[in-house]
Structure 1
């Protein structure tokens, strides 16, 4: 009984840990800090002496980042494992709050925005594509904002239209949890189609093609080159060909 209680007490510790977790910042911006509807309209990103850590008391994972990314620039971000490449993305979406400094997008300090106002205006294609149980349509357009024509256009540009047209239910094709009934490449292309629908001014690619084959990688790069030419793009990558089109390359060092 003692051994069993010792094993089960771990569950109590986990529940207690979640109960004590601090909540995220406010979801909506207050009236004084509400960004304009068209924000960000240029895509200018400034890191001003920006530092971040995962928890209070831990070492900084990014220290004193100072850089200015001009509108429409294509920036490659490289560095060894643990250098802080993905942490930069987490900071941009405020999944991690700044320990020092700030990030300014088109003249607005993002720390003053509500999380929804910030995250809904940026687009990311992650390394691990996230799909939910439902249909192709609900995974592309969960809030029913776009027309069928817009969805099909996005699927065409992401090289998925032919495949989806070949399914019996087309856009109503059922997707299992995590997209397990689709290949990894197809899941990544659905994430690309989702980004094409949103078409925000700032696009983040967090090693988006690291887990797919070279053919799918080439399709994604071709589409990004053509369809996001009017966007500021931050590309975190390991493959050299993924950042070949970048205007500049930033290297993060773990030293």
Structure 2
């Protein structure tokens, strides 16, 4: 608690230190001027010397020097926003939101994703973060994407959404992603990010930003994610105002709101990017159960560090240094003791690894 109070006072202490420091500089300045005037007393008019000393004292004692310094610092800080604005105008522009060719309204109806020698980098002056990726994801497959930090898991999603234009081509349900506008592409894929995205506004706006659904549908989906009682307890219920980033909700509730929004979108491709890494085990279990029930006919890409979230997946993609090193069913990968996936499972510990392998075998048998 002592450290917290000290941290809260640090800006005030810094301001006081600056004031004392400037006062010392002013005192030194007045001293130098005074001694300089004494040395030049024989050549200068005493009236001029008095005027110099008077102006020096006025400058320092009235705080004009401190005011000028503080104003110059504030002006420099304010100019940072101008510099950022200029920098943003020079950023590389994204592709057009809409092209002349538009996909059918029901696209994608299967959720098949094919990639051909995809290389990806976030800017032209940066190295490749994904190299020669050639995954094939079939309709309704549940794909787990694993790998160490920096292996390129999130970069795969960035390439799908064209956050930066990838080299190579990506095909979704027989349509190249580069042949359609960004709006047509991105609105057809639902993303559940690690940090839940909520907007300042009502609960209704956060669930249905484009007013495409009736209240009955909104309450139904809230009930499915077990949020109905919590929302009914808010003042205004569905019209309750959410704070910035949904700070008046818990972390688990924010994730469930994003999950409810994903269910309402009814897209055939769902991308989960470490969405359950900041929630408690009970909420994690609820989210996983809801995904298996509500997105059974959808293609689901799950990026996670928790292997328990991908044990039921039909396909595991193991990335390393931006390359696809392994791609197969979990149980098949576990049969190879030299595989990266097997080594990653062994890091869980002897008991947990054995339970994980047994669960993978059970899922494999049931699927057959």
TM-score above 0.5, yes or no: yes
User: Does structure 1 residue 28 correspond to structure 2 residue 98?
Assistant: yes
The DSSP-based 3-state class of the residue aligned with 1:145 is coil
Query: 254, 260, 266: which one pairs with 1:193?
Result: 260
Match of 2:83 in 1: 13
Quote the Cα distance in structure 1 between the aligned partners of 2:169 and 2:122.
16
Q: Per chain length, whose mean CA-contact separation is higher, i.e. which structure has more relative contact order (CA < 8 Å, sep 6+)?
A: 1
Query: 97, 120, 123: which one pairs with 2:187?
Result: 120
Quote the Cα distance in structure 1 between the aligned partners of 2:103 and 2:76.
51
1:183-241 deviations in Å (ceiling 9; x for gaps): 01000000000000001000000011011111110000000010100100000001111
Q: CA RMSD in A?
A: 1.6
Distance verdict in 2 for CA 1:136–1:11, change over 3 Å: closer
Q: Unaligned regions of 5+ residues in structure 1, if any?
A: none
Quote the Cα distance in structure 2 between the aligned partners of 1:131 and 1:150.
19
Match of 2:223 in 1: 156
The DSSP-based 3-state class of the residue aligned with 1:241 is helix
Asked if the contact 2:94–2:164 (Cα under 8 Å) also holds between the matched residues in 1, the reply is no
1:101-156 deviations in Å (ceiling 9; x for gaps): 11110011101110110111111111100111111101001111001111111111
Query: 123, 126, 130: which one pairs with 1:55?
Result: 123
Equivalent residues, number:
251
Counting helix residues as a fraction of each chain, which structure ranks higher? 2
Match of 1:94 in 2: 162
Task: Find the structure with the greater CA-based Rg.
Answer: 2
Match of 1:44 in 2: 112
User: Does structure 1 residue 227 correspond to structure 2 residue 322?
Assistant: no
Aligned residue runs from structure 1 range 157-196, under 5 A: 157-196=224-263
Match of 2:210 in 1: 143
The DSSP-based 3-state class of the residue aligned with 1:71 is coil
User: Does structure 1 residue 109 correspond to structure 2 residue 172?
Assistant: no
Quote the Cα distance in structure 2 between the aligned partners of 1:243 and 1:151.
29
Report the TM-score, using the length of structure 1 for normalisation: 0.94
1:1-40 deviations in Å (ceiling 9; x for gaps): 7x8477666444322211111221111121xx21011000
Quote the Cα distance in structure 2 between the aligned partners of 1:231 and 1:7.
49
Match of 2:151 in 1: 83
The DSSP-based 3-state class of the residue aligned with 1:90 is helix
Q: Tell me which moved more, 8-17 or 56-65.
A: 8-17
Match of 2:276 in 1: 209
Quote the Cα distance in structure 1 between the aligned partners of 2:293 and 2:138.
19
Quote the Cα distance in structure 1 between the aligned partners of 2:295 and 2:85.
43
Report the TM-score, using the length of structure 2 for normalisation: 0.66
